Structure 1
Amino acid sequence: METTQTTQILTHQGALKLLTAAVAKAEEIGQPQCIVIVDASGEVLAEIRMTGAKFLSRKSALAKALTASSIGSATVNIPEEVRALIGLATGGNVTGLPGGMPIVVDGTVLGGIGVGSGSGQQDIEVARAALAAIGAET
């Protein structure tokens, strides 16, 4: 039985690159966003509420990032019929709202990104642009 293992982590440089790319995409589409990036253990590495973004969207962006990191899948993959119940059962810490995506590099979940304040499609578009900037799966 092994007692240690080698793991990959998302560095602060990686988090900043994700954040910068997400902000650039949000500016390109003209939609200010709240963007949160967490590592694989759910710790916030970077976040921003762009000028003009809805302040409550920061909470949903955090929930999206945590959910995507925890389940290793996009938040929209949570079945619609359980989305509301999951949110209630977890005090809003888990969500099926669009805009949460795992940060997966070489098959390893390194964390999650959550984007909120636009339409669901805009949130996803911004998250995908960020992931592409670091070569993560989109």
Structure 2
Amino acid sequence: MSAYTTIPVITYAKAAEAVQLTIDIGAERGLKLCATVVDPALSLVAYGRADGMTPHSVETSRRKANTAASTRKPSAEVLPELATALENGTGGLLTRIPGGVPIVIDDVLIGGLGVAGGPPAEDAKVAAAVLEAMGAASTGEA
């Protein structure tokens, strides 16, 4: 029995790519967005925001990324009946607001992306577009 495990994590370069794609795709759609990328252990890898973005979205993007990385599914897929318990039980670390997606490349979970700053449905669409542009697995509607 091994005394340790190995956990794949997203590289800074790939995380920074996701952040830049989020800002660029958001701008193309008339949105000022921010993006947070975390690894599977929920450690921050990269963060960036468009100039003029709403300040409260910073924390929202982090929570969306955490949710996607820890549950391995889009933040919007958290069951409604668990939403309050999830947020209260984690001290607000997780959320069910749309816009968080797991980052899976070559069938390996390497992190989570949280997109915030626009309407949640638009954040989710941008997150899905970022995954596609990165060559990551699609999770359907984020």
TM-score normalised by structure 1 residue count = 0.91
- Root mean square deviation, CA, Å: 1.5
> Which residues in structure 2 correspond to 1:57-76 (within 5 Å)?
57-76=57-76
**Greater shift in the superposed pair: 68-77 or 4-13:** 4-13
TM superposition shift of 1:6: 5.5
**Greater shift in the superposed pair: 46-55 or 105-114:** 46-55
Deviation above 3 Å: which 4+ runs of structure 1? 1-8
Which runs of 5 or more residues in structure 1 are unaligned?
Answer: none
Equivalent in the alignment of 2:106: 106
User: Is 1:117 aligned to residue 82 of structure 2?
Assistant: no
Equivalent in the alignment of 1:133: 133
Aligned equivalents of 1:44 and 1:31: distance in 2?
23
User: Aligned with 1:82: secondary structure?
Assistant: helix
Equivalent in the alignment of 2:53: 53
**Greater shift in the superposed pair: 13-22 or 68-77:** 13-22
Equivalent in the alignment of 2:96: 96
Aligned length: 138
Matched-pair contact (CA < 8 Å) for 1:49–1:55:
no
Amino acid at match of 1:61: S
User: Aligned with 2:111: secondary structure?
Assistant: strand
TM-score normalised by structure 2 residue count = 0.89
**Greater shift in the superposed pair: 49-58 or 23-32:** 49-58
Matched-pair contact (CA < 8 Å) for 2:23–2:49:
no
- In structure 2, relative to structure 1, the CA distance for the partners of 1:5 and 1:87 (3 Å cut) is closer
Aligned equivalents of 1:34 and 1:89: distance in 2?
26
TM superposition shift of 1:9: 2.6
Matched-pair contact (CA < 8 Å) for 1:17–1:133:
no
User: Aligned with 2:62: secondary structure?
Assistant: helix
Amino acid at match of 1:75: S
Identity across the alignment (%):
31
